Structure 1
Amino acid sequence: MSSDRDPVIVAARRTPIGTRGRALARLRVEELAAPVIRATLADAADSAGSPVAVADVLLGNCMGPGGNPARVAALAAGLGAEIPGGTVDRQCGSGLAAILDAVTAIRAGDERARLAGGVESASTAPERSIDGAAYDRAPFAPAGFPDPDMPRAAEDLAAHDGISRSRQDAHAARSHARARAALATGRFDAELVPLEGLDHDDAIGGAERLLPRLPPLFADGSMTAGTATRIGDGAAIVLVAPAGAAAGLAVRATAVVGCDPALPGIGAAPAVSTALASAGVGVADVAAFEIVEAFAAQSLAVLDRLRIAEDDPRVCADGGALALGHPWGASGAVSVVRLFSRLVRSGAPAGTLGVAAASVGGGLGVAAVLEVVR
């Protein structure tokens, strides 16, 4: 059972995820995040019966403009100059890591509510350069360590684990089919803050029909464009409050771990195992998993290590990042927003458990065990 000291996520919202270069492409990070901040605060006020004061805004971001996007977003949202902001970089685990930082601050004794989550505008990410030479990303590891790009790392993981092309295609197809069903029945509606006329995740479609015909991304490989997620623009934010503040998702246990930087895609598995052990529960006790699907091979490798069936209906029940898109620094927070909808908004009983997790470039894993409180 949740402890009476476990902070509680009492509100959770996100933008639709817009594929890079499409509907949300002109919006800067603060323009993505500010409307979601306001919507999350409005939801929290409705729940509490009065406005909720916040102590800080913590947002994950990977490839943005610098200048502390969380502080810029807080000001853009109208929170006032007295509210600070902090930006977290654990790459594609950043949004979840920012939520864990907010939880840690409250557990440490500063029992004021915090807004936390992630934001990424891949479409407006600046070009970086050293001595005039542009580069796509900073290193994930120092000289002397493996530092593969994420597609190459996923391909290497598929080969390492013997994950076939057919398993990858089936996993991606399942993600799209689940997301399409959720979209058709309105299961995303309550969590979304439409922007620029976009009211749904625009990567959701019938892509699974094309999967068997797509060529591999690497001549010696099995991964295709259909089994790799689409990079997106978006924001996802929750309000973390002290224990007892309201109904929501209590944060029972968290974990951030390291793993082999040559196979960074497996990081979510040891993170989930560590968090579950800390909570004193097992995989069988969890009703809902949201694990960021950066690549089908990577997602399957994590599920295999956790001994969860690849078609388990508890995992990304409404589709994962393979269907919804992957806005880097926001994706881990999207997972928490999805759990809030699947468990709190759906009326799951008190005590129901959920897990959010992400694997991270450079060899990291981030996870949280969450429990419905009412």
Structure 2
Amino acid sequence: MKKAVIVKAKRTPIGRENGILSSFQPHELAAPLLQHLAKDIETEIDDVIVGNIVGLGGNIARLSALEAGLPLTIPGMTIDRQCSAGLEAIRTACYFVQGGAGKCYLAGGVESTSTSPFKNRAQFSPVHIGDPDMGVAAEYVAEKYRISRERQDEYAFKSYLRSINAYELGFYQHEILKLNQIETDEEFFRRRDMKKLLKRARPIFKKEAGTVTAANSCGIHDGACAVLIMEENFANQFDYEPVLRFVDSQVSGVHPNFPGFSPAPAIQELLKRNELAIEDIDLIEINEAFASKIVACAQELSIPYEKLNVLGGALTLGHPYGASGAILVTRLFYEVQRRSDITYAIAAIGSGGGVGLALLFEVVRKKVSGPRT
């Protein structure tokens, strides 16, 4: 079987809804990334696969590729698997490479909540089964898995400190492609007093005895992210140095009332099939939509926080739906290059309707002198 490897990865800065990126349509966010990643190999790209959820419709991948000035021969495919869309785009491209359908793909996701025409979310599930909003579902997860407000706030504070540390060390800057002179995530324009916010925040989805607050939940944001995926021998032929090699993936379904827990069974099945244990995985990225889901998944899988979301995540930076899964992979792409002790890494995300997706990667090479951009 052919091997799919990730050789480049970039994201835009992440902006709040109606914030610094509010004037950009989805294809205008994605196009600069595609142009950057495709530089000097435009004619070798087989397809562009982009995840998007609340856009204007149509084939945003094709539109973005054309906006980027890529060859007209590149078709483009847009995927909607709710919050898993960006990760699913990468997964699909990796399988295309493995199956011999092509040798070179651009894959990722984009979201412009600011320009979305939809005032209400799409339906996740038939009402008679259960179709809660994601915040209500986060409360359901907290109740079912007995995740207290204190544990959620403790994790949210830990994640915030990790994000601030990563920002101050310049780690996020390796991920970011400057967009119209914007080169910093909007959440770092002004420092939060996170202890105070956590203490005074009130439950917003379940007023009586709720545990999920604005302070231990992610915000709604805009942004885009993409990676360059190649067949490994093809990458070597063009002098690209592979960083992450795709090993396997698993998508799993859970009851739509508990979408935040869906990464757990996906990761469990992925490990089982590959005869691995959680101890064998050195880094794990699970999208931080809500602290309750992270604590519940960590509890179920016995994941030590020392290897989980080590640079923080969406609780601070925000959650640009369709892009978030690709951001997880991009974070791993750069973090494994800063470390010499990483063999396996997992990126996982849960989606509305109760869908969990997890991808397993192994590190190909480790760069001691600094991350490749």
After the TM superposition, which residues 210-359 of structure 1 pair with which residues of structure 2 at under 5 Å, given as runs?
A: 210-217=197-204, 218-220=206-208, 221-244=210-233, 245=235, 246-309=241-304, 312-344=305-337, 346=338, 348=340, 352-359=343-350
Instruction: Classify the secondary structure of the residue corresponding to 1:203.
Output: helix
Which residue identity lines up with residue 89 of structure 1 in the other structure?
D
CA contact (8 A) 1:253 1:276 kept: no
CA contact (8 A) 2:42 2:71 kept: no
The counterpart of 2:147, out of the listed 157, 163, 167, is 163
What does the per-residue CA deviation read over 1:291-324, in whole Å, with 9 as the maximum and x for residues that have no partner?
1010011111111111113xx2211111111011
CA contact (8 A) 1:249 1:371 kept: yes
CA contact (8 A) 1:23 1:196 kept: no
Aligned-pair CA distance for 1:94: 0.4
Q: Cα distance 1:119–1:76, how it changes in 2: closer, same or farther (>3 A)?
A: same
Percent identity of paired positions between Structure 1 and Structure 2: 40
- Which residue number corresponds to residue 35 of structure 1? 32
- Aligned-partner Cα distance in 1 for 2:261–2:138: 10
Is 1:83 matched with 2:74? yes
Aligned-pair CA distance for 1:41: 2.3
Aligned-pair CA distance for 1:53: 1.4
CA contact (8 A) 2:42 2:70 kept: no
CA contact (8 A) 2:156 2:291 kept: yes
Which residue identity lines up with residue 59 of structure 2 in the other structure?
N
- Aligned-partner Cα distance in 1 for 2:280–2:37: 29
CA contact (8 A) 1:203 1:230 kept: no
CA contact (8 A) 2:2 2:100 kept: no
Q: Cα distance 1:52–1:286, how it changes in 2: closer, same or farther (>3 A)?
A: farther
- Aligned-partner Cα distance in 2 for 1:169–1:24: 29
Residues 197-206 or 72-81, more deviating: 197-206
- Aligned-partner Cα distance in 2 for 1:59–1:339: 19
Q: Cα distance 1:52–1:316, how it changes in 2: closer, same or farther (>3 A)?
A: farther
Which residue identity lines up with residue 212 of structure 1 in the other structure?
K
Aligned-pair CA distance for 1:143: 4.1
CA contact (8 A) 1:201 1:325 kept: no
- Which residue number corresponds to residue 369 of structure 1? 360
Aligned-pair CA distance for 1:207: 4.3
- Aligned-partner Cα distance in 2 for 1:99–1:327: 16
- Which residue number corresponds to residue 14 of structure 2? 17
- Which residue number corresponds to residue 95 of structure 1? 86
Aligned-pair CA distance for 1:352: 1.4
How many aligned positions are there? 354
CA contact (8 A) 2:232 2:242 kept: no
- Aligned-partner Cα distance in 2 for 1:103–1:112: 9
Aligned-pair CA distance for 1:111: 3.3
Which residue identity lines up with residue 222 of structure 1 in the other structure?
T
The alignment yields a C-alpha RMSD, in angstroms, of 1.6
- Aligned-partner Cα distance in 2 for 1:255–1:93: 12
The counterpart of 2:131, out of the listed 130, 143, 147, is 147
CA contact (8 A) 1:61 1:330 kept: yes
After the TM superposition, which residues 180-191 of structure 1 pair with which residues of structure 2 at under 5 Å, given as runs?
A: 180-191=164-175
Is 1:360 matched with 2:346? no
Which residue identity lines up with residue 333 of structure 1 in the other structure?
A
Q: Cα distance 1:137–1:280, how it changes in 2: closer, same or farther (>3 A)?
A: same
- Aligned-partner Cα distance in 2 for 1:250–1:52: 23
Aligned-pair CA distance for 1:159: 1.4
CA contact (8 A) 1:40 1:239 kept: yes
- Aligned-partner Cα distance in 1 for 2:173–2:246: 24
Aligned-pair CA distance for 1:216: 1.4
What does the per-residue CA deviation read over 1:229-274, in whole Å, with 9 as the maximum and x for residues that have no partner?
0111000100111123242200011111111111111111111112
Q: Cα distance 1:30–1:348, how it changes in 2: closer, same or farther (>3 A)?
A: farther
- Aligned-partner Cα distance in 1 for 2:38–2:88: 20
- Aligned-partner Cα distance in 1 for 2:270–2:107: 20
Q: TM-score, structure 1 length as denominator?
A: 0.91
- Aligned-partner Cα distance in 1 for 2:193–2:140: 24
Which residue identity lines up with residue 234 of structure 1 in the other structure?
G
